[in-house]
Amino acid sequence: MDKIPRMSRPTRRHLISLGRRSGEPQTAVRFHIVSRLGLGRSSPQVAEEVDVARSTVVRAAHHFIAEGVADSTTSAVETVPPRSTTASVVRLRLFSGARPRTSDG
């Protein structure tokens, strides 16, 4: 595994605040993991401290090293297609007994 370089306290605090401001729990945890690794702690230590799997720590480190801060804030929600597609909404309305809406009224 590539190693996260040691980070100064202001850098770690900035990273954690970026994760919190993202509004996404996954991003906040990922940045928290990276900041702990920036202290020089090992993956098993960070996994135990943050209460996540070791593989999560390793993936967060790989992602951070490969993409940096900018791409690490990408939302998982943005990359997943919406669940309520037009067809599923129509099926739901048919199932519930409601008349499906058409574009002409």
Predicted confidence (pLDDT) per residue in 4-59, tens digit: 888 889 988 898 888 888 888 888 889 999 999 999 999 999 999 989 999 999 99
Residue 41's pLDDT is 92
Radius of gyration of the chain (CA): 20
> In the chain, where are the structural domains located?
9-76
Distance CA 24, CA 74 (A): 10
The DSSP 8-state label assigned to residue 69 in this structure reads: H
**Most confidently modeled range among 56-60, 70-74, 91-95, 98-102:** 56-60
Residue 42's pLDDT is 92
Q: Give the type of residue at 63.
A: H
